[in-house]
Amino acid sequence: MDTHFAQRRRRDLIVAGCLAVVAALVPLFVKDVYVQNIMVLTLMYAALSQSWNILSGYCGQISLGHALYFGLGAYTTALLFTKFGVLPWFGMLAGGAISAVIAMALGYPCFRLRGHYFVIATIVIAEIALVLIQNWDWAGAALGIDIPVRGDSWLKFQFTRSKLPYFYFALALACIAWFVTWWLEDSKWGYWWRAVKDNPDAAESLGVVVFNSKMGAAAVSAFLVAVGGSFYAQFVSYIDPESVMGFQFSLLMALPAVLGGIGTLWGPVLGAVILIPLTELTRSFIGGSGRGVDLIVYGALIVVISLALPRGLVSVFSWRKEAAR
């Protein structure tokens, strides 16, 4: 591509590297556990949203059922560990692989659907999976799974004394998701996806295999989201169907990208950095439990941003204009 584009990509990589280093240093100065907790969640949602963005943003197949893959990751890891003693690291890879396969199996019939039919199919499929897990006794049914604590170790990926290891893993995950997106953006896949998003019929006539492009995006997206789910299971050490596969996760994954800029490299990161601390803070300071102020702030933000800045917050930065286009 043109040198301008190459320059932009190099600059993106340098900026990302610097940001990662700065982020890695933050916990040295911020010791407050509450704040560290918010940072872990922010990084996790940045990673999740970045992964969601691959299928829904770049490829244009808006999924509101990604909680399915998040839950699959969490459940695979937790079940393998509690039932068979398999280390979470393997569980993580297994969860990712299972999710990628399931995403493709589901994509096979679903990618023929267009527009709202597709969106509703994704919601419905995640909802079916949720109900099935809630009724699956071996997997703990509605009560979920308590992951037994066997002491602090990287091997078992459990840490009780400090949140720092989780922080660094979440940071690594966010970096990987970002890097995969960065790398794919300029690969043949990236071009196919944008072509499929803009005009599937024209793409098809130009020789892009639309169906395979969507399948590829779904597999990558599901794999990364499942790894996020595995991480979350270890982080909270207790999972139940509603808390890892509920519809709100599908929404929470989509919102940072929507806010920051759907189908952009930096949108999910920017969105997560603003949205997650904001919701956590409103929840604890204004919200209280069950009063719903956090929902009001949250929802209003979504309405205003999606109406005023359909390209997301990244479009505000003028030097990003060409990236958002």
Partner 1 sequence: MTAETIIQSLASGLLMGLLYGLIAAGLALIFGLMDVVNFAHGEFLMIAMYATFFLFAFFAIDPLLAAPLVAAALFVFGALVYLLVVRFAMRAKANAGMVQIFSTFGLAIVMRGLAQFFFTPDYRSVTNSWLGGKTVSIAGIYLPEPQLIGAMLSIAAFVALYFFINRTDFGRALEATREDAGAVALVGIDKNRVFALGWGLGAALVGLAGAIMAIFFYIYPDVGASFALIAYVTVALGGFGSVFGAFAGGIIVGLVEATTALILPPSLKSVGIYAVYLLVVFIRPRGLFGSM
Q: What are phi and psi of 208, to 5 degrees?
A: -80, 130
To the nearest whole angstrom, how small is the minimum distance from the Cβ of residue 230 to partner 1? 26
Closer residue to partner 1 in complex, CB, 17/299: 299
* Least distance in angstroms from the C-beta of 74 to partner 1: 21
Least separation in angstroms between residue 151's CB and partner 1 is 37
Choose between 45 and 159: whose C-beta lies nearer to partner 1. 45
Write out the two tokens for 315: 């479009």
Tell me the closest approach of the beta carbon of residue 108 to partner 1, in angstroms.
10
Pick between residue 147 and residue 253 the one whose CB is nearest to partner 1. Answer: 253
Residue 205 CB, shortest distance to partner 1, in Å, is 20
Smallest gap from residue 98 Cβ to partner 1 (A) = 20
Phi then psi dihedrals of residue 158, to 5 deg: -135, 135
Q: Nearest CA to 128 among 150, 110, 152, 154?
A: 110
CA angle (241 as vertex; 268, 42 as ends), nearest 5? 25
- Specify the residue, 202 or 295, whose C-beta has the smaller distance to partner 1: 295
CB of 299 to partner 1, least distance (A): 3
Q: Which residues bind partner 1 (CB under 8 A)?
A: 62, 109, 112-117, 119-121, 123-125, 127-128, 131-132, 134-135, 247, 251, 254-255, 258, 262-263, 290-304, 306-307, 310-311
- The residue behind tokens 């505000």 is 316
CB of 275 to partner 1, least distance (A): 12
Q: Quick one: 131 or 149, whose CB is closer to partner 1?
A: 131
Q: Is 20 exposed, middle or buried, given 0-12, 13-18 or 19+ CB atoms closer than 10 A?
A: middle
C-beta of 137: minimal distance to partner 1 in Å?
A: 12
**Residue closer to partner 1, measured from CB, 1 or 307:** 307
140 vs 263, beta carbon nearer partner 1: 263
Which CB sits closer to partner 1, 237 or 282? Answer: 282
123/176 with CB nearer partner 1:
123
Tokens standing for residue 72: 């699959």
